[in-house]
Amino acid sequence: MKNWLKIVAVVLLFYVHIGGMLFDVPRLNILNETIRALYFHVPRWFGMVLLFLLSVYYSVRYLRNPVPENDYKAVEYANVGLVFGILGMLTGMLWANYAWGSPWHGDPKQNGAAIALLVYMAYFVLRGSIENEEQKGRLSAVYNIFAFAAMVPLIFIIPRMTSSMHPGSGGNPAFNMYDLDSKMRLIFYPAVVGWFLIGIWIVALRVRIRVVEEKIIEIENEKTY
Amino acid sequence: MKRLISSILGFLIAFCPLAAQAQSDVQMADGMRAEGKIYVVVAIILIVLSGLIAYLVMLDRKVNKLEKLVSDKNK
């Protein structure tokens, strides 16, 4: 990852944390000041979806060209994406406790997101259960494509077909209720970009650690022969 | 540098709701803002954020070192 991208991410996050607390927000009943949670909760899900998208991209690349690097990238993007999803779930439950009355409401989007996370956890179970590296890479790449294809309707389509308490559900486009104040976008979109870049940064580190690991194993093997 | 700081401050002030607090019947944490205690919260989350980012930078450097070590051994 390029250094200037890391700096952009850090600058954006500082801006988001200052602006997210201090800038004006719409005054809405029930939500009150917790509307600011939008700046910190929703970027988690946007980040997760983008990271999973990159993961699927590298899985497809692995199937077309099975070099280990593509496999490492697919795994690590999914791994960090899952962390983003878990944090999104926890922040969402805390917010729901105050905005909706209880942490788990059976809200369609919440349920869908939980199922999507379970589908992705199964990806790691699958990887852990296969010894042969090539088989592991191939099978998990195919499963990863399925997991992404399952996540999209679970998070984006089903909640829109039923009534959900999340904004952007039950037919209405997302963020409609915040359109009162487009100033929120000035912080929300930088937050998405900033956290996504931080996610990519962590992925890059984890991929590099994997490569180093592989090299060490290679060196050890050469010694024994 | 001075110009940069003053333009950043100006930008912040332009968006800050401190001066013109629109009164409405929806309850918001206006008191906390008026007392300036919101800056304590901002400072705390910035400390946490910078700590975590510093940690990430240190990890990055450590991986750099490891990569060098391994490539040296490989020769």
Question: What would the pLDDT profile of B3-43 be if each residue is shown by its tens digit?
Answer: 666 666 666 656 555 444 455 678 888 888 888 888 998 99
CA distance B58 to B46: 18
Query: Based on the structure, what is the number of domains in chain A?
Result: 1
Arithmetic mean of pLDDT, A166-190: 68
Q: Give which of A11, A120, A214 is closest to B4, Cα–Cα.
A: A11
Query: What pLDDT does A25 receive?
Result: 82
Which residues of chain B are within 8 Å of residue A202 when distances are taken between CB atoms?
Answer: 56
> Does residue A117 carry a pLDDT above 90?
yes
> What Å distances lie between residue A99 and A21, A36, A81, A104, A105, CA to CA?
18, 12, 26, 11, 11
Query: What pLDDT does B19 receive?
Result: 42
CA distance A104 to A23: 30
Query: In this structure, how many other beta carbons lie within 10 angstroms of the beta carbon of residue A31?
Result: 20
DSSP B36-67: TTHHHHHHHHHHHHHHHHHHHHHHHHHHHHHH
Q: What's the pLDDT tens digit per position in A2-20?
A: 899 999 999 999 999 999 8
Average pLDDT, chain A: 90
Arithmetic mean of pLDDT, A108-125: 95
Coil/strand/helix, residue A171:
coil
Contact A96, A110 (CB under 8 A): yes
Q: Could you tell me the residue range of the domain that residue A55 belongs to?
A: 3-224
Query: What pLDDT does A48 receive?
Result: 96
> Does residue B61 carry a pLDDT above 80?
yes
Q: Give which of A75, A79, A81 is closest to A45, Cα–Cα.
A: A81
Query: What pLDDT does B18 receive?
Result: 47
- Across the interface, whether the CB atoms of A27 and B29 are under 8 A apart is answered no
Structure tokens at B58: 């240190």
Which residues of chain B are within 8 Å of residue A33 when distances are taken between CB atoms?
Answer: 28-29
Contact A219, B70 (CB under 8 A): yes
Tell me the one-letter amino acid at A190.
P
Q: What's the pLDDT tens digit per position in A35-94?
A: 888 899 999 999 999 999 999 999 999 999 999 999 999 999 999 999 999 999 999 999
Band of pLDDT at residue A147, cut at 50, 70 and 90: very high
Who contacts B74 (Cβ-Cβ below 8 Å, separation ≥6)? A215, A219
Chain B residue whose CA is closest to A211 = B67
> What Å distances lie between residue A92 and A47, A51, A87, B71, CA to CA?
15, 19, 8, 44
Query: What pLDDT does A223 receive?
Result: 83
- Across the interface, whether the CB atoms of A21 and B42 are under 8 A apart is answered yes
Query: What pLDDT does B13 receive?
Result: 57
Band of pLDDT at residue A169, cut at 50, 70 and 90: low
pTM of the predicted protein model: 0.85
B23 lies within 8 A of chain A by CB: no
